[in-house]
Amino acid sequence: MIINYAKTKLLTIVYAGILLLMAIEFKVSAESLQGLRSNNEDAIKFTMADGLFLALVADGMGGHASGEVASTEAIKSIEQEVFDQGPFLDGSEVGDTALIQHGYISANESLLNLSRNNPKLLNMGTTMVGLFYRENTPNVLISNLGDSRCYVMEDQKLSLITADHSFAHALYIAGSITLAQVATHPFRNRIYKYLGAKDLTGGPDVFIHHVVPGQRYLICSDGLSGSINFADLQHYLATEPLEGLALKLCQISLENGSTDNTSAVVIDVVQA
């Protein structure tokens, strides 16, 4: 699936005393596959309204229906917070960062309330990764909890923007293992921050990234990032057309042996 999302104006460049307007478009390819699981606990969503763009990928935890409920309800809660409150803010980076953080915190409370009121949903939770953009601003805001990730392809080079909240990734940050080793480390699925946790001190990580035409962003669940090595992922994102790319990446992850649900949202930034 590919969707051409609204033309948004980016007021960023001052050259020789002349303010230049750069119009950009977001083009999106998105897919989520169940894989070998009994149900799909991943959830994806992307929305453009009121000059705001939001894309989210969640990977539910808890087993059976509870993980699916957690991912779906968390996305619904964050989306509602962003589009209910976002249009009335001043558009500052500080304000939008607070908007995203509060959206995650509200989603966390929503999951805890659902869990308290339904024993079948006890201990459910979900990871989350999101990309947020407001028209007439120079940056996107990348947010995450858990091990769902955001990558960016720039000048044929792939970079990981987010940091997993897993014990394996903490070892990588400390220099004890490589990024490639994270995918197979026995602690790779031991998450210490996620939505549905009783303590979400500090909320999500929020990264600010300058947005320009030519970039390609990938937000995905660990079912994908854990089964396609970095070099191959860079190759596919650098060479494949956007049409059908999310589906292709999900299919490759399953062909590589992933037994998990696998989800991807690929976002191309193009000049209008």
- What is the β-pairing status of strands 42-49 and 52-61? antiparallel
Q: Note the pLDDT of residue 57.
A: 98
Residue 32's Cβ-side half-sphere holds a number of Cα atoms within 13 Å equal to: 22
Lowest mean pLDDT among 12-21, 69-78, 102-111, 206-215: 12-21
Lowest mean pLDDT among 3-17, 40-54, 130-144: 3-17
Q: Kindly tell me if the per-residue pLDDT of 21 is higher than 60.
A: no
- Residues 220 and 148 sit within 8 Å (Cβ to Cβ): yes
Q: Note the pLDDT of residue 22.
A: 64
Task: Please write the tens of the pLDDT for every residue from 196-224.
Answer: 998 888 899 999 999 999 999 999 999 99
Helix-, strand-, coil-residue percentages of the chain, each rounded to 5? 35, 35, 30
Q: Where are the domains of the chain?
A: 2-271
Q: Note the pLDDT of residue 8.
A: 36
Percentage of residues in the chain having pLDDT higher than 70: 91
Residues pairing with 144 in the sheet: 129, 205
CATH number of 2-271: 3.60.40.10
Q: Which of 213, 216, 246 is nearest to 8 (CA)?
A: 213
Q: Which of 25, 30, 126, 18 is nearest to 69 (CA)?
A: 126
Q: Average model confidence (pLDDT) for the chain?
A: 88
Q: How confident is the model at residue 191 (pLDDT cuts 50, 70, 90)?
A: confident
Percentage of residues in the chain having pLDDT higher than 90: 71
> Could you give the 3-state DSSP secondary structure of residue 193?
coil
Q: How confident is the model at residue 246 (pLDDT cuts 50, 70, 90)?
A: very high
- Residues 223 and 260 sit within 8 Å (Cβ to Cβ): yes
